[in-house]
Structure 1
């Protein structure tokens, strides 16, 4: 197993467990080519912090890579609302582009 993933997983359920840890672990799973596991981590991150726009964006990406396009679209839509409410305009713009691509792909399917 990836040593970074192992190291991060050892911290789960400990005093440092939180949205950032789950987000970091999700990024490592994405790098390792496991988008389904990454999505679980990103979902745990947004469950811990509903206002974490970067985690919403990453959740959408991981779900899309895992083939869960409707769930990815829902994550992006929630992430856009969160980002706009927080004034995170760049994240909102990026997620809007990704959501538009998924909508088009779903319409063509």
Structure 2
């Protein structure tokens, strides 16, 4: 996961700005580099394109948590519960619950 990978994904986004998976991929690259604040905007953009993309809520909530934005992490967990339940994968809900349990307050 290098800066060149980020540039490659950005170039693909420029070609297809409505691709939620590319937005998620960009956010995930930033996240994997420990650049949590930078990960937030592309992850939010992925959800703006596809609000049912359940796994993005997990990554976004975790990015908010690691960036010290606890209230936004909590809001994202709650917003992700519906899409996670509709997805039918119990691991998605489990991951949201794990994030919620880690959040202070």
Give the structure-2-normalised TM-score. Answer: 0.91
Task: Write the deviation string for residues 37-72 of structure 1: whole angstroms up to 9, x where unpaired.
Answer: 101111011111000011111000111111111101
Task: Please say if residues 11 and 17 of structure 1, whose CA atoms lie closer than 8 Å, have aligned partners that are also in contact.
Answer: no
Distance in 1 between residues matched to 2:85 and 2:91, nearest whole Å: 9
Following TM superposition, by how much is the alpha carbon of 1:16 offset from its aligned partner in structure 2, in angstroms? Answer: 6.5
Check whether the contact 1:80–1:96 (CA below 8 A) recurs between aligned residues. no
When the two structures are superposed, what TM-score results if normalisation uses the length of structure 1? 0.87
Kindly name which structure, 1 or 2, has the bigger radius of gyration based on alpha carbons.
Answer: 1
- Corresponding residue of 2:87: 86
Computed over aligned residues only, the root mean square deviation of the Cα atoms, in angstroms, reads: 1.5
**Number of the residue aligned with 1:25:** 26
CA distance in 2, matches of 1:87, 1:29: 28
| Paired residues for 1:54-65 under 5 Å | 54-65=55-66
Task: Please give the residue correspondences for 1:34-49 in structure 2 after superposition, counting only pairs within 5 Å.
Answer: 34-49=35-50
Q: How far did 1:13 drift? A: 3.3
Unaligned stretches of 5+ residues in structure 2 = none
Consecutive aligned runs of 4 or more in structure 1 exceeding 3 Å deviation: none
8 Å CA contact 1:59–1:75 kept in 2: the answer is yes
Deviation per residue, 1:2-27 (Å, 9 max, x gap): 11001111122323641100000011
Aligned residues: 104
